[in-house]
Amino acid sequence: MNFQRKKMLILHLALFALIGCGESQANLDSMIYNFNKESQAGGWYTLNDGVMGGISNSTIVINEDGFGLFSGNVSTANNGGFASIRYPFDEKAINGKSKISLRIKGDSKNYQLRVKAKSGDYYSYILTFKTSNEWETVDIKLSDMYPSFRGRKLPMSNFESLSIEEISILISNKKNERFELLIDTIELT
């Protein structure tokens, strides 16, 4: 292959890559978190009922298959009863999206998805979802998420912000239980 043809081939490949990157950028703009073997669960942290005297415990790790694994034990002892993981991030515009989609595999237990429009807000917008023992995509409409603080619904309107800065997943089923939730992706859809 002569030099001119090689140059033209490289130019075409570069153009193809740029076009492909545009589509990937759209996906990146809506992706909140994509767990994989390289992600290291960076930025996620646990917040359990120890903040109020409870003894529940939980972890968030990347398992050998590259999925996020949120697991632990919820205990109602000492006025406790919840475990959660949180992920704060730079402001992410909603850009006309209406749902948060979680690709998960659960344990047939109920969990809450919680979002904050501003990470410094004292309240979250929440909605409970039930899991199965199968891989599934759970779609949660943002407009169905209601404001709550310490388990109490607040007299404010449901989520209507144009952006979010934090997501959480919480388990609190008012009983002692072991739990395990696998998470693949969380994205705006």
Q: How many domains is the chain partitioned into structurally?
A: 1
Q: What is the pLDDT of residue 15?
A: 36
Residue 17, both tokens: 């890559």
Answer whether residue 28 is part of any domain. Answer: no
Q: Determine contact, residues 163/100, Cβ cutoff 8 Å.
A: no
pLDDT band for position 149 (cuts 50, 70, 90): very high
Give the largest Cα separation in the chain, rounded. 77
pLDDT band for position 9 (cuts 50, 70, 90): very low
Answer whether residue 178 is part of any domain. Answer: yes
Answer whether residue 116 is part of any domain. Answer: yes
Q: What is the CATH number of the domain that holds 168?
A: 2.60.120.430
Question: pTM of the full predicted structure?
Answer: 0.85
**pLDDT single digits (tens) 66-111:** 999 999 999 999 999 999 999 999 999 999 999 999 999 999 999 9
Answer whether residue 13 is part of any domain. Answer: no
Answer whether residue 20 is part of any domain. Answer: no
Answer whether residue 150 is part of any domain. Answer: yes
User: Which domain, by its residues, includes 85?
Assistant: 33-188
**pLDDT single digits (tens) 11-54:** 444 433 433 333 344 556 899 999 999 887 889 999 999 988 99
- Rounded to the nearest angstrom, the gap between the alpha carbon of residue 153 and the centroid of all alpha carbons in its chain is 22
Answer whether residue 18 is part of any domain. Answer: no
- How far apart CA 36 and CA 64 sit, in angstroms, is 9
Q: Who contacts 174 (Cβ-Cβ below 8 Å, separation ≥6)?
A: 76, 81
